Amino acid sequence: MPEIGTVRIRIPSRIRRGDVVRVRCLVIHPMEIVQRDKAGKPIEKNYHFINKVIMTYNAREVLQAETTQSMSENPFFSFAFKATEAGMLKITFLDTHGGKYEGTAEIKFS
């Protein structure tokens, strides 16, 4: 079983300079949902879920998102950016228990 935080990124197989690239990524994470007691009151605790997603390209931040428990288990993200130079795409996921999970994909022009 892959550990929590396995990141998979998928980019188009052929990219030309200046293309708008659609990036798809999936991270294995339980994304713990809020629990309620018998009276229906939410239980106070530090729930384990991803609360920040940062995407950088050649160390420049392209996108930052704050996420909540409303997202599904093993969440899937998709976004687009314009690739004007070749380089390394990095997506970082941060969770409420201090976990930091990273995935990278290399963008080369054909």
Q: If you count them, how many residues does the chain have? A: 110
* Residue 66-95 contact track with other proteins, rule CB under 8 A, x = bound: ------xxx-x-x-----------------
Decide if residue 13 touches other proteins (CB under 8 A).
Answer: no
| Burial tier of 69 (Cβ tally within 10 Å: 0-12, 13-18, 19+) | middle
Cα 39 to Cα 41: distance, rounded to the nearest angstrom: 6
Q: How many CB atoms lie within 10 A of CB 90?
A: 19
Residue closer to other proteins, measured from CB, 74 or 84: 74
Decide if residue 28 touches other proteins (CB under 8 A).
Answer: yes
* Residues in contact with other proteins by the rule CB under 8 A: 1-3, 6, 8-10, 24-26, 28, 72-74, 76, 78
